C-alpha cells in the first residue's frame, strides 16, 4: 500500500457514521494514485499479455478500459454520495 493511501476497514465500511465525505474522497484519490502508478510501472511488453480465465481472456489495456467504464456507470452514485455523505 502506498503511504498516501487511505485504508477503509470492513468495520468502517459498514458503520454509518464512520465514513465521511473526506474519507471517501481520500480513498478514491488513493485508488487513482495506485492505478496510475501500476500502469506506469507495467512494462510495455506486458500490456499485450493475455491472462486466461475459465470464461475469458483479458489483457491489461482491456482491464483499464473496463475499470474506467465501470467507474462511469457509478457517476450518479458518486454524485449522490458527495451530496449527502456526512462531513468531518
Could you tell me the CA-to-CA distances from 13 to 9, 43, 55 in Å, in that order? 6, 34, 31
CB 83 within 8 A of CB 74: no
Beta bridge partners of 57: 52
Contact between 2 and 34 (Cβ < 8 Å): yes
Separation CA 57–CA 69 (nearest Å): 18
Digit-by-digit pLDDT tens for the chain (88 residues) are 444 445 555 455 555 557 788 888 888 889 999 999 999 999 999 998 999 989 989 999 998 999 889 888 888 888 888 788 777 7
SS3 39: helix
Reported pTM:
0.63
Amino acid at each position: 500500500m502506498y503511504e498516501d493511501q487511505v485504508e477503509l476497514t470492513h468495520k468502517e465500511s459498514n458503520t454509518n457514521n464512520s465514513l465521511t465525505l473526506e474519507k471517501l474522497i481520500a480513498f478514491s484519490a488513493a485508488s487513482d494514485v495506485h492505478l496510475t502508478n501500476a500502469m506506469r510501472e507495467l512494462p510495455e511488453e506486458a500490456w499485450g499479455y493475455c491472462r486466461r480465465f475459465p470464461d475469458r481472456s483479458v489483457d491489461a489495456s482491456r482491464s483499464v478500459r473496463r475499470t474506467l467504464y465501470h467507474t462511469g456507470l457509478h457517476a450518479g452514485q458518486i454524485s449522490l454520495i458527495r451530496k449527502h455523505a456526512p462531513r468531518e
